[in-house]
Amino acid sequence: MNGHPPHDSSAYSSSPAHALTEAGRALLPEARATLAAAQAAADAVAEAAAGLRGTLSIGTMISTGSIDVPALLGRFHEQHPAVLVRLRVMPGGSADLAREVVSGGLDLALLSLPGEAPPGLTVRPLAQEPLVLICATKHPLASAEAVQLDALANATFIDFPVGWGTRAVVDRAFATAGIDRQVAFEVADYATAAGLAGYGLGVAFIPASAASELSAVARVPVEGAALNWRILVATSAIRRPSAAARAFLAELLAHR
């Protein structure tokens, strides 16, 4: 009625120009798979461009030996600036750090455990070094090339709080040897322990790396005892680490 021929949709849909050939139908699944892979690659690129985000809670000891924590954190921040890192030193030492990782208060922790990891914790070794005895330069043991544990049976000790990794190593060594010892001073840092030892108030065990930086005390190796300080990284054995925690762990293990 309007002068135009009626629209025939069936004639349009059956046009050879729009019909899918047999060859086209055969290639359709492969084409769709290719498109899906391309989309997945694009999504991955977009995620990488956005970078990691979130909060990462890390626990550490006051000393980590050869593990340079500030350098690790610096590299991690350069690579993942959108991740907020929180670093904590626990007053109860490695025992507190382990409990915080198990409970979820920390994503991971650098700690020292002399024996097996407690339930709920996965640990990976990072480094190990011996503990050495420090004493005043005028102490009778100062000139000894090395001492045995039994030579320290009557010594007065300066040590760190129960729960610290070094304290656990020394306590275990003396218990294994069946030797009681007297801990007269408990301190929370190596400098104070060295100061007390330097004034002749007692002897102390500290990691060899920390002892090498001291000049006012004598350093004496101890033989015949397992006085090895192990530095470990602990993560939860129950919860899957976050993407930020996995990235930091990879950086840590690559530079241990």
Three-class DSSP category at 170: helix
Task: Look at residue 24 and tell me whether its pLDDT is greater than 70.
Answer: no
Domains, the chain, ranges and CATH?
Answer: 54-127+231-254 (3.40.190.10), 128-229 (3.40.190.290)
pLDDT of residue 135: 97
What value does the mean pLDDT take over residues 165-189? 95
pLDDT of residue 30: 62
Give the pTM. Answer: 0.76
Helices (H) and strands (E) counted in the chain, each on its own, are 8, 11
pLDDT of residue 116: 85
- pLDDT tier at 7, thresholds 50, 70, 90: very low
pLDDT of residue 13: 42
- DSSP states of 103-116 as a string? HTS-SEEEE--SSS
Compute the distance between CA of residue 26 and CA of residue 22 in angstroms, rounded to an integer: 6
Residue type, 46: A
| Six-digit token string for 210 | 């920390």
- Nearest CA to 69 among 88, 97, 82, 84? 88
- Nearest CA to 56 among 40, 72, 44? 72
pLDDT of residue 56: 97
- Nearest CA to 242 among 66, 55, 58? 55
pLDDT digits (tens, 9 = 90+) for 114-137: 888 889 999 999 999 999 999 999
